[in-house]
Amino acid sequence: MKAKIISTLIGDENEFSFRHRLFNVIALVGICMSFSASIINYILGLGVVTVVLTIGCGVISIVLYLFSIIGKKYELPALITVLMLSFILFPALWIINGGSYGSIPYYMIINAGIIAILLDGFKRGIVFVFFAVLAATLIAIEYQAPNFVVGYGSQLTRCLDSSFGFFVCLVSNAVFFAVFVDSYFKERQRSDQYFSKLEEQKKEIEAKNKILEKNNAELKKSKEKVEGLNKLLYEEKQKLEKLSITDVLTGTYNKMYITARLEDEIEISQENKGKLAVALIDIDNFKMINDTYGHLYGDYVLKRVGESINNNLRQNDIAGRFGGEEFLIVLPDTSLKDAYSIVERIRGKIWELKWRNNLKVTISGGVTELGSNNLTELLREVDRLLYKAKFNGKNQIEKKYV
């Protein structure tokens, strides 16, 4: 019953593509966010314009959702949604709803993810760049002319609005990620069923070959060919499984896999009362490297850094590409002291790498040990430590117990 309701709301997987279903989820979440935000804005007395703007966004979201789910159209609703959020709704709310001191920055972070999910190729790149420039412009204007942004009536109102925005974005992010992961595992299940059928066919072929090979040598050759084909299929399956969890450029695991493994290790560590350390590292000045030497050389830098990380980890340690130039390292059964030594060794090895034009590639990072916190808190802490290392001069590793 539950599955049927979900399928009705976001679209059947046999009729709607994965990205189309994600859009339907985003539209539904957007409808809920818009009308709940309008109610909260009204209660907090944030002004008629703020209330009307969020209600209008909700109404438009309903129209786009119906156009998507009933008309089975994706491209136009997705583009309209991204443009409306990026260049109308959030910039307007930034100005009339507290700017960087309010809840809108949280929504703009979620919007960056929506751009990445709904668009692809050139459209994704150009929209994201303009959105980032617009966000930077709003911040700069607010800094130069604070009165340009409509503030809050009281500190309590600002706190309530920011808290509501934070938790709404927290829940929205969890919903998007859950739908993405669930859909991924469904696709994996289909793949397993497909290969299971191939295995059954293989057994049937082998059984028939055992009977026929007594009378015909040619059939024996055919059997060998079939076995070779099955071996090739098995090898391809192994390659596909490896590709599904590996970042092809760096050779480390991809974000989905490293995050899932971290969740597993947190659960194991908490159940066994064992130690677990986590590190987040980032290549310093990577944008400068891309701008100066080109993106192909930037990819080469990422590849060598990924290799250095893998080559300097222990057997049970795992590393994955967590962002553009960020890597997440999970170190099971490891104290903070030992983890810091490992990551510091990695930093030193990367510092020693030789590059053209006397380029020096360095990393900054944060290392922490699991306490009673969950996945989100743990990632937030190492991210904070990473930025502390950046702020303190880069090419260093910061550590702290949680």
Are 21 and 156 part of one and the same domain? yes
DSSP assigned state of 368 = E
> What's the CA gap between 396 and 30, in Å, rounded?
41
The verdict on 221 and 342 lying in the same domain is: no
Same domain flag for 219 and 363: no
Based on the domain organization, do 266 and 234 belong to the same domain? no
pTM over 0.85: no
Amino acid of residue 297: Y
What's 337's domain CATH number?
3.30.70.270
Estimate to the nearest angstrom the gap between the alpha carbon of 63 and the chain centroid: 28
The pLDDT, as a whole number, for residue 180 is 66
Residues 240 and 259 in one domain: no
Same domain, 150 and 9: yes
- Average pLDDT on 238-247 reads 75
Q: Are residues 116 and 27 in the same domain?
A: yes
Q: Is the pLDDT of residue 165 over 80?
A: no
Q: Is residue 127 part of a domain?
A: yes
- Give the residue numbers spanning the domain of 190: 184-245
Share of the chain above pLDDT 70, in %: 83
Whether residue 159 sits in one domain with residue 29: yes
221 with 278, same domain? no
DSSP 119-188: --HHHHHHHHHHHHHHHHHHHHHHHH-GGGS---SSHHHHHHHHHHHHHHHHHHHHHHHHHHHHHHHHHH
Specify whether 349 is located in the same domain as 238. Answer: no
Specify the pLDDT at position 384.
94
Domain count along the chain? 3
> If you average pLDDT over residues 29-52, what whole number do you get?
73
Which pLDDT tens digit goes with each residue over 72-103? 787 888 788 878 878 887 787 778 777 777 77
In a domain, 367, yes or no: yes
Measured CA angle at 138 (ends 137, 144), to 5 deg = 85
pLDDT in tens, 147-160: 877 766 677 767 76
| pLDDT tens digits along 15-33 | 777 777 777 777 777 777 7
CA distances from 294 to 105, 271, 326, 362 (A): 31, 47, 19, 18
Same domain? For 222 and 158 the reply is no
* Spatial CA neighbour of 212 closest among 220, 203, 224: 220
Nearest CA-CA partner of 37 in 223, 227, 167: 167
